[in-house]
Amino acid sequence: MQALVGTRVLDFSQVMAGPYCTRLLVEMGAEVVKVEPPGGEVVRHRSPLSGGRSRYFGQLNAGKRSVVLDLAHPDGRAAALALVRASDVLVENFRPGVMARLGLDSPTCREQNPSLVYCSISGYGHHGPRDPGRPAVAPVIHAASGYDLAVAGYQAPGSDPPATGVFVADVLAGALASSGILAALAGRELTGEGAHVDIALHDAMLSLLVEEVQVAQVEGARTAPPYRPIRARDGFVMVGIVTTRQIVALAELTGRPDIADDPRFSESGPRRAHLEELHSLVEAWTRERSTADVENAMRAAGVPCTAYRTVAEQLADDALLARGTLREAHDSAGAFTIVASPIRLAMASGGLQPAPRGAFEVRDLGADTRDVLAQAGYDATGIAQLIECGAACDAVA
């Protein structure tokens, strides 16, 4: 995808939300310069590791150039401001106040570069009465936003809140941040001015609870029971029964014509109130069949259905490889698979835009320090002085 070719993004972010955002921008064609502290950001050393290289880091940071600056050093901070002046977008996901202490907050950076789009991602946002500096990580945000208890409410009565393993808040906030950046860039085309994009993980998670937010405001209302796992002979399937046509097909498939005529199931409103009973009737049929047989029969009948699959099974899915969802990335330890951006652009002239060159290469720490500083106006002597005094670091194998 070439939509952002010629756009330089300065990425000060670490761990997940910010790096996920800028990783999406890489595949849109942006040049992303990742600024890391001496020794590299923490995820460079986080498992899973292969050949001493973090695959976790590779998934989030493929395609980015790596620059090492010590922002606590005055000369390192001055170098960062030089990069700001040469950039279109800046992304950071520190607690509010951290970038100000470093002299790299939005007002300072936009004074240096009035057209800069400055994007901040934090737990609770930079604007509003809540203490913006309170520490937050995705699982804490899940609990605070109502998300965890909403999920628990769909489980068996008395279930504990779910343990969090997938950091939904980080990924969602990162995706929304990329949208905010694109909106700000589009606005800049009209006004010539930059903007401060303020993304809060808490806001992002609350925005997921579309139905739940409305149910909470209506006395006596409750969310319908969720679609639940249905047991087959050798595992579980998920069946999505949405339309009346699917009910008719399901009744014929299972040999239960009474299901289609049952007033509890024949119309959408009552069906939502009686999904649990419907699931039980369907399960009487699925328990006698394998997951593969159930899935094939349901699909043939036009009823959405799938067996539960693992992530490892997804990585072996030829359809995902053919679509380009899965791509081969490379770092200095070798090749591995990553999930590409889910955004696809098909042009009117035909065909999908290809990923930018180098979008799946993971750069070693500091590999681009000299080149990027040179592009920001430093000569060879100035770069050598920065490295000698410890304000910057050269390539680290």
Tokens at 169, concatenated: 């808040």
Q: Rounded CA gap, 391 and 71, in Å?
A: 7
ω into 161 cis (within 30 of 0)? no
Q: Rounded CA gap, 110 and 117, in Å?
A: 8
One-character DSSP codes across 76-124: HHHHHHHHHHT-SEEEE-SPTTHHHHTT-SHHHHHHH-TT-EEEEEESS
One-character DSSP codes across 373-393: HHHTT--HHHHHHHHHHTSEE
Q: Rounded CA gap, 264 and 284, in Å?
A: 18
For residue 117, which of 189, 174, 69 has the smallest C-alpha distance?
A: 189
DSSP reduced 3-state for 338: strand
Question: Of the residues 70, 88, 148, 170, which is catalytic?
Answer: 170
Place of tokens 């993304």: 199
Q: Rounded CA gap, 121 and 200, in Å?
A: 6
Active site residue 160: no
Q: Rounded CA gap, 36 and 61, in Å?
A: 12
At CA 32, angle to CA 30 and CA 37, rounded to 5? 170
Find the helix or strand (DSSP H, E) in which 320 lies: helix 318-323
Tokens at 343, concatenated: 């955004």
Contact at 8 Å (CB) between 276 and 300?
A: no
Distances (CA, A) of 58 to 70, 123, 380: 22, 24, 30
Indicate which residues carry an active-site annotation: 170
